[in-house]
Amino acid sequence: MSDLADSPAVRRLDDWDLERLESLADEYDTPLYVMDLDRVKANYARFSAAFPDAHVMYAAKAHTGKAVLEAVLEAGGSIECAAWGELRRSIDAGADPNELQYTAVNPPDHDLDYATDLAAEHPGLTITIGAVDTLERLAERGYDGRIAIRINPGIGTGHHEKVATGADAKFGIPYERVPEVAERVREDFDLVGLHAHAGSGVLTAGLEDHCRAISRVGEMARRVGDDTLEFVDVGGGYGVPYREDDEPLDLEKTSNMVREAIGDLEAQLKLEPGRYVVADAGLILSEVNTIKEAPDTTVVGIDASLATLIRPAMFGSYHPMLNVSAPDREAREVTVGGPVCTSADVFAHDRPVARPERGDVVAIGNAGSYGYELASQFHSQPRPAEVALEDGEDRVVRRRETLEDVTRVERESGQ
C-alpha cells in the first residue's frame, strides 16, 4: 500500500502509454472509455495516507462502475452513496452494508424504503439527512437508527456555481438551526455525526474558502457536543488539475489546513473524495472523422459527443486533449466538436493540438469522474464500451451498447 501512496500526485495525458491507447482504440473501437483501476487504487491510497487518522470514503456518484467500486474496496475504502441504486451497486461490488453511508438529498420514497429496509438488516448503515422532513419520513418507516446531520455551512466553494453546494439552500440544514435539529434527532434516533459537502473542484487556491466552511463545521460539532459524535464528515470536492498548467492539490498542505480548520475534536474526521479518486484514472478515446477549414478556425469533428462527456457542455469545463496517433506533429489551434446538433457539443475552442487528421485517435483526459456516469443515449447513440486496465491487462467491463439496447425498453412496452 505504501508504494501506491507514493504514486505521483498528478497524471497528465502524456503520462499514459500512447501506443497502448492507440491499440486499445484499434481493438475495441471508439468512442471508448478507458479506466485504469491501478490508478484508482493509487489515488485512494495517496489521499488516505495524507489523512492517516481519518476515515476516507469514496463518493460513488463520480463513477459507480462495479470494477471501480471493487478497486476502491480492494484499496481499503468504504463508500458514500447518494441514491438507492448506488447503495445496491456498492453491495453488489462487495461492500459491507454496515459501512455504507447514504446521503439523502430530497430523497424519493423508493430511496428511503430501500435504505430503511437495508438498515433493518444492517444497523451499521448511516443515513445523512439534509431536511427535518426526511427525519419524519424515516420515522414513518419505523427507522430509529444512525443519523448524521448535513449542515449548510453558508459558505460555498468550487469551480462552478452549479456545484458550489455549501451555500445553496437545497443542501443541508441551515447552520443556525442545527442545534435544535440535533436535539430532535437525539429524541428518536442515534445521532452519530455531522456532515457538510461544501463544493467541488477545490484546488490549492480554493483551500482557504473550503477551510472556512470546514471550521464552521468543527465549531458546530463542538456546539452540539463532539464527544457525543462518532464522526465529523467534511465531504469531498477535492479537485484535480484539469488544465495543463493547473498544479495538483498539495495533499499534505490540504490535510494540515483541514485539521487546523476543524480544530480539536473528540470525533473522527471523515472525508468523501469522489473525483479525486477517479478523474485522472480515466480517459475517452475518440476518432477524428472530419476536418473542416472555417474562416476563423479549423473544425475537428470527433465521434465522442456531449452524450459521452457532458461536463464541457454543462459546466463549460476544460478537459485536456491529446492526439494519440501523432503527438509529435506540429500543434495548430483547432475547435473540436462531436456529432450532436447543438453548439454546446464542443470539447475545445481554439485549442493547440498536434495537427489532427482524419482517422487519428484523440484522448480526452480526466474523464474518469462524471464521464460514463453522466453519459446518455442522446441522438439515439448507443453508449460506448468501457475498458478497465489492471495489472498490465485490459478487459471490457461494459460492452458497447447496440441500437437494440437503446430501443429495448420501448420494445418491451409494445412499441
Annotated binding site for substrate: 275, 311, 370
Whose Cβ is closer to ligand PLP: residue 247's or residue 357's? Answer: 247
Catalytic (active-site) positions:
341
Using the contact rule CB under 6 A, the part of the chain among 107-115, 232-240, 315-323, 376-384 near ligand PLP is: 232-240
* Span of 18-26, 55-63, 318-326, 378-386 interacting with ligand PLP by CB under 6 A: 55-63
How many Cβ atoms from other residues are within 10 Å of residue 185's Cβ?
20
Count Cβ atoms below 10 Å from residue 106 Cβ, excluding itself: 11
* Grid cell at residue 269: 474526521
Find the Cα–Cα–Cα–Cα dihedral 66, 68, 73, 78, rounded to 10°.
-90
Residue 200 binds ligand PLP (CB under 6 A): yes
SS3 199: strand
Contact between 127 and ligand PLP per CB under 6 A: no
Nearest alpha carbon to residue 67 among 386, 283, 393, 385: 386
Q: What is the enclosing helix (H) or strand (E) of 262? A: helix 251-262
> Can residue 287 be called a binding residue for ligand PLP (CB under 6 A)?
no
Residues 6+ apart with CB under 8 A from 84: 110, 111, 114, 115
Question: Which residue, 166 or 235, is less far from ligand PLP as judged by CB?
Answer: 235
Which residues have a Cβ under 8 Å from the Cβ of 264 and sit 6 or more positions away?
none
Examine residue 272 and tell whether it contacts ligand PLP (CB under 6 A). yes
Residue with cell 491499440: 23
- Rounded to a whole number of angstroms, the minimum distance from the CB of residue 190 to ligand PLP is 20
- Assess 59 for contact with ligand PLP (CB under 6 A): yes
Annotated binding site for pyridoxal 5'-phosphate: 237, 272-275, 370
Shortest separation between residue 278's beta carbon and ligand PLP, angstroms: 8
Round to whole Å and give the CA distance between 89 and 83. Answer: 10
Using CB under 6 A, pick the residue from 39, 146, 197, 259 that binds ligand PLP. Answer: 197
Q: Which of 55, 216, 270, 275 binds ligand PLP (CB under 6 A)?
A: 275
For residue 33, report the phi and psi dihedrals to the nearest 5 degrees.
Answer: -90, 135
Name the helix (H) or strand (E) containing 127: strand 126-129
What is the spatial distance between Cα 230 and Cα 100, in angstroms, rounded to a whole number? 15
Per CB under 6 A, the list member of 218, 274, 282, 320 interacting with ligand PLP is 274
Strands 321-323 and 331-337: unpaired
- Total residues at the site for ligand PLP (CB under 6 A)? 18
The reply on whether position 237 binds ligand PLP by CB under 6 A is yes
82: left (phi over 0), alpha (psi -120 to 50) or beta: alpha
List the one residue from 80, 209, 303, 360 that touches ligand PLP (CB under 6 A): 80
The yes or no reply on residue 206 touching ligand PLP (CB under 6 A) is no
Tell me the residue number closest to ligand PLP, measured at CB.
274
Please say which residue, 178 or 340, places its beta carbon nearer to ligand PLP: 178
CA–CA separation, 281 vs 286, rounded Å?
Answer: 17
Please pick, from the candidates 33, 238, 242, 372, the single residue that binds ligand PLP as defined by CB under 6 A. 238
Strands 157-158 and 361-364: unpaired
Binding to ligand PLP by residue 273, rule CB under 6 A?
yes
Q: Which is nearer to ligand PLP, 236 or 241 (CB)?
A: 236
217 binds ligand PLP (CB under 6 A): no
3-state secondary structure of 249: coil
Least CB distance to ligand PLP at residue 82 (A): 5
Among 236, 312, 356, 368, contact with ligand PLP (rule: CB under 6 A): 236
The C-alpha cell 492539490 sits at: 249
In the three-class reduction of DSSP (H, G, I as helix; E, B as strand; rest coil), residue 406 is classed as helix
Site for ligand PLP in 88-107 (CB under 6 A): 103
> Could you say whether residue 371 binds ligand PLP (CB under 6 A)?
no
Determine the distance from the C-alpha atom of residue 387 to the mean position of all C-alpha atoms in its chain, rounded to a whole number. Answer: 18
Q: Segment contacting ligand PLP (CB under 6 A): 141-149, 186-194, 274-282, 332-340?
A: 274-282
Chain residues that interact with ligand PLP, rule: CB under 6 A: 59, 61-62, 80, 82, 103, 197, 200, 235-238, 272-276, 369
